[in-house]
Amino acid sequence: MEKIDIVLVAAVAENGVIGRAGDMPWHLGSDFRRFRAITKGKPQIMGRKTFESIGKPLPGRTNIVVSRDPGLVIEGCLTATSLEDALALARKDAVEKGVDEICIQGGGEIYRQALALADRLRITHVETTLAGDTVFPEIDPALWEVGEEERLPAGEKDDYPTCYRVYERCR
């Protein structure tokens, strides 16, 4: 059976900030296009707060929302009351669809719990430092090596330049 990798997908400022007041603290059109392309068809796991900030399921992929509320029902999404249960749903979906990655798409609480389980990180480093209330956990260089890197100047629909890096777990 083919291995299915757990992949954290995030956009992170230089000071680790990923969110402010329940939303993203930037608009990055180019990164959103990349996000759609790299996650298409793959199961997505997100925390209930991140789902609420997006407001609707992302089309073309199975959306799994994690909440401790067992009564939570969201049209167009699967729900799970633990990260482990969400991963089990995502694995089943990945096998059925024949894809080799499960995407963990935040937010801070979910990234913190999922980092130890991750095989790969797809990080857009946003080249700015700004205030926020939600951060990405530290990426330990002893555990992760950069396999791919692409720097993008800020385009018309981007607030900041970015550097996209794919980190592979080396230990």
Ligand X SMILES: NC(=O)c1ccc[n+]([C@@H]2O[C@H](COP(=O)([O-])OP(=O)(O)OC[C@H]3O[C@@H](n4cnc5c(N)ncnc54)[C@H](OP(=O)(O)O)[C@@H]3O)[C@@H](O)[C@H]2O)c1
Q: Which residues bind ligand X (CB under 6 A)?
A: 10-11, 18-19, 22-24, 46-50, 53, 66-69, 81-83, 105-110, 113, 134
Q: How far is the CB of 98 from ligand X (least distance, A)?
A: 26
CA quadruple 130, 131, 135, 140: dihedral, nearest 10: 50
Our CB check for ligand X shows the closer of 24 and 99 to be 24
Separation of alpha carbons 99 and 135, rounded Å: 29
Q: How far is the CB of 65 from ligand X (least distance, A)?
A: 8
Our CB check for ligand X shows the closer of 99 and 122 to be 122
Question: Taking every pair of C-alpha atoms in the chain, what is the biggest distance, in angstroms?
Answer: 44
Our CB check for ligand X shows the closer of 62 and 134 to be 134
Our CB check for ligand X shows the closer of 14 and 96 to be 14
Q: How far is the CB of 77 from ligand X (least distance, A)?
A: 13
Q: How far is the CB of 145 from ligand X (least distance, A)?
A: 21
The set of residues, in sequence order, having a beta carbon less than 8 Å from that of 41 and lying 6+ positions away, is 60, 61, 97, 99
Our CB check for ligand X shows the closer of 19 and 57 to be 19
Strand (E) or helix (H) holding 150:
strand 144-152
Q: How far is the CB of 24 from ligand X (least distance, A)?
A: 5
CA quadruple 81, 82, 86, 91: dihedral, nearest 10: -140
Separation of alpha carbons 162 and 153, rounded Å: 7
> Does residue 119 contact residue 8 with C-beta atoms inside 8 Å?
no
